[in-house]
């Protein structure tokens, strides 16, 4: 870490992956250990606390994949067979009478003794109600064997898995009514700056509306965090100290703005006085300055204030940090390689995350990539990664991180 005022090697920037690795290490060291048991319907967006091990075979018995007829292949000589029972899903069948077949429907248990299901389209019902099978049949056809999906004792979901509709469905299929999940991370969101005014109020001279607050609060909720909306912190040291002091029972203070090396750096002063502050200069654009530290032991991450910088640094650094604190293993978003549909003639010394979208399989970028322009991200459906030191011509490969990957 480079303490403020001692940037290490002159002008050196911290690589994004190094910053991420450090943040993840910090998150790992302060992982949330508490857990709570919740009904299945309420685990959406939460993180599984223990491995989920199957206590069932799925399916619990062989069942039919088709509407048709179950038979024992050895009984079939080419002559029509009599129907000895009818089995619907939910029925408990009798063993198959030798020399007969059973009418069977999708999902119904295959009777003991049967080793094949023929679909009804390949069977002819004769006038005397016997069944003639026309096609050659093979053992096991159209039967879903017991334990095809899962057997007792198998690991189904690992601790640290984020839970969504699919995991909820899977747990339900195993009969789980409740699961232990990691307690929510409590995150206090602070906006800083005298210029900020909440939407709904009238703008005075020099004022702008606070957009980061709602953006972060709602994003954090999507990530399964408990959000403490700590409002706007004015550019004033006494208030800053007092307000930070109120945020005791939280796992993270997440602030935006206010920790540039400028004169209005009151958050920075308060952290240095009663905690620790390191200011990272990241090789990332938008979003160079990132604050990491603590206030009286409560971890603090300070994101840059420009809305597009807030978005990019939250997506790439704060989000993985918060997920890891909940014990999630896979915290980095999916990144695909796509051809660039734009040119990038001038190599930069920072890794750029351009707000872009895919058009005919190529990444194109919003016309204005200023860090103050949030509209670029609303237009975009992904972050286009241009590595430091790179120039691009159309068709060159670039990384593309879908926004849908990081927004939840």
- Binding interface with ligand AMP (CB under 6 A): 191-193, 195-196, 208, 210-213, 256-258, 260, 304-307
Q: Between 63 and 210, name the residue whose CB sits nearer to ligand AMP.
A: 210
Nearest approach in angstroms of CB 255 to Mg ion is 10
Please choose, out of 216-224, 252-260, 273-281, 346-354, the segment that lies near Mg ion by the rule CB under 5 A: 252-260
Of residues 193, 224, 320, 382, which one binds Mg ion by CB under 5 A?
A: 193
Question: Which residue's Cβ lies closest to Mg ion?
Answer: 193
Give me the phi and psi of 327, to 5 degrees please: 90, 10
Of residues 93, 109, 257, 286, which one binds Mg ion by CB under 5 A?
A: 257
Q: Between 266 and 344, name the residue whose CB sits nearer to ligand AMP.
A: 266
Element (H, E) at 279: strand 275-281
Handedness of CA 246, 248, 250, 253 (dihedral sign): positive
Residues across the chain? 408
Q: CB under 5 to 8 A by kind: which of Mg ion, ligand AMP, none does 24 bind?
A: none
Nearest approach in angstroms of CB 296 to ligand AMP is 23
Kindly state the tokens that stand for 233.
């912190």
Asked if omega into 286 is within 30° of 0 (cis), the reply is yes
Of residues 258, 287, 307, 327, which one binds Mg ion by CB under 5 A?
A: 258
Q: Say if CB 234 and CB 191 are below 8 A apart.
A: no
- Contacts (Cβ under 8 Å, ≥6 apart) of 285: 348, 350, 351, 352, 353, 371
Q: Between 64 and 192, name the residue whose CB sits nearer to ligand AMP.
A: 192
Q: Between 123 and 311, name the residue whose CB sits nearer to ligand AMP.
A: 311
Please choose, out of 73-81, 180-188, 192-200, 340-348, the segment that lies near Mg ion by the rule CB under 5 A: 192-200
Please choose, out of 57-65, 68-76, 124-132, 250-258, the segment that lies near Mg ion by the rule CB under 5 A: 250-258
Give me the phi and psi of 250, to 5 degrees please: -125, 160
Q: CB under 5 to 8 A by kind: which of Mg ion, ligand AMP, none does 307 bind?
A: ligand AMP
Alpha helix segments (H runs only) across 7-136: 16-29
Please choose, out of 39-47, 152-160, 193-201, 242-250, the segment that lies near Mg ion by the rule CB under 5 A: 193-201
> What is the 3-state composition of the chain as percent helix, strand, coil, each rounded to the nearest 5?
20, 30, 45
Q: State the Cα–Cα distance between residues 223 and 305, nearest whole angstrom.
A: 21
Question: Which residue's Cβ lies closest to ligand AMP?
Answer: 305
Nearest approach in angstroms of CB 179 to ligand AMP is 36
Nearest approach in angstroms of CB 254 to ligand AMP is 12
Rule CB under 5 A: is residue 304 a binding residue for Mg ion? no
Q: State the Cα–Cα distance between residues 388 and 189, nearest whole angstrom.
A: 31
Q: Say if CB 341 and CB 364 are below 8 A apart.
A: yes
Nearest approach in angstroms of CB 304 to ligand AMP is 6
Beta carbons within 10 angstroms of residue 372's beta carbon: 14
Q: Between 199 and 245, name the residue whose CB sits nearer to ligand AMP.
A: 199
Element (H, E) at 197: strand 196-197
Q: State the Cα–Cα distance between residues 363 and 354, nearest whole angstrom.
A: 10
Q: CB under 5 to 8 A by kind: which of ligand AMP, Mg ion, none does 350 bind?
A: none
Q: CB under 5 to 8 A by kind: which of ligand AMP, Mg ion, none does 304 bind?
A: ligand AMP
Report how many helices (DSSP H) and strands (DSSP E) the chain contains, helices first. Answer: 9, 26
Q: CB under 5 to 8 A by kind: which of Mg ion, ligand AMP, none does 211 bind?
A: ligand AMP
Q: CB under 5 to 8 A by kind: which of ligand AMP, Mg ion, none does 260 bind?
A: ligand AMP
Q: How many residues bind Mg ion (CB under 5 A)?
A: 3
Q: Are strands 68-71 and 100-104 parallel, antiparallel or unpaired?
A: antiparallel
Q: State the Cα–Cα distance between residues 76 and 122, nearest whole angstrom.
A: 15
- Which positions touch Mg ion (CB under 5 A)? 193, 257-258
């Amino acid at each position: 870490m480079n303490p403020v005022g001692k940037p290490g090697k002159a002008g050196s920037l911290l690589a994004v992956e190094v910053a991420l690795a450090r943040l993840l290490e910090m998150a790992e060291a302060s992982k949330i250990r508490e857990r709570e048991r919740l009904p299945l319907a309420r685990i959406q967006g939460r993180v599984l606390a223990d491995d989920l091990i199957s206590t069932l075979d799925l399916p619990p018995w062989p069942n039919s994949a088709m509407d048709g007829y179950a038979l024992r292949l050895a009984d079939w000589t080419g002559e029509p067979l009599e129907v000895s029972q009818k089995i619907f899903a939910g029925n408990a069948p009798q063993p198959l009478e030798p020399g007969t077949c059973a009418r069977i429907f999708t999902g119904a248990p295959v009777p003991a003794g049967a080793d094949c299901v023929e679909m009804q389209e390949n069977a002819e019902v004769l006038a005397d109600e016997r069944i003639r099978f026309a096609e050659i049949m093979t053992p096991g056809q159209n039967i879903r064997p017991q334990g095809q999906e899962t057997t007792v004792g198998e690991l189904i979901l690992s601790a640290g898995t984020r839970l969504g509709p699919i995991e909820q469905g899977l747990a339900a299929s195993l009969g789980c009514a409740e699961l232990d999940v990691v307690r929510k991370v409590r995150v206090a969101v602070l906006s800083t700056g005298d210029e900020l005014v909440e939407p709904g109020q009238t703008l005075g001279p020099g004022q702008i509306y606070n957009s980061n607050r709602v953006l972060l609060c709602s994003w954090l909720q999507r990530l399964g965090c408990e959000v403490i909306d700590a409002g706007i912190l004015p550019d004033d040291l006494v208030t800053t100290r007092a307000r930070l002091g109120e945020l005791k029972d939280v796992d993270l203070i997440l602030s935006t703005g206010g920790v540039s090396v400028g004169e209005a750096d009151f958050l920075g002063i308060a952290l240095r006085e009663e905690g620790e502050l390191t200011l990272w200069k990241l090789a990332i654009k938008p979003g160079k300055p990132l604050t990491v530290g603590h206030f009286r032991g409560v971890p603090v991450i300070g994101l840059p204030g420009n809305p597009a910088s807030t978005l990019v640094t939250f997506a790439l650094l704060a989000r993985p940090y918060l997920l890891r604190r909940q014990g999630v293993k896979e915290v980095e978003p999916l990144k695909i390689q796509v051809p660039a549909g734009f040119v990038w003639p001038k190599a930069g010394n920072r890794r750029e995350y351009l707000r872009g979208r895919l058009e005919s399989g190529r990444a194109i970028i919003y016309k204005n990539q200023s860090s103050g322009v949030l509209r670029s991200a609303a237009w975009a459906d992904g972050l286009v990664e241009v590595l430091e030191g790179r120039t691009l011509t159309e068709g060159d490969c670039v990384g593309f991180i879908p926004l849908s990957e990081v927004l939840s």
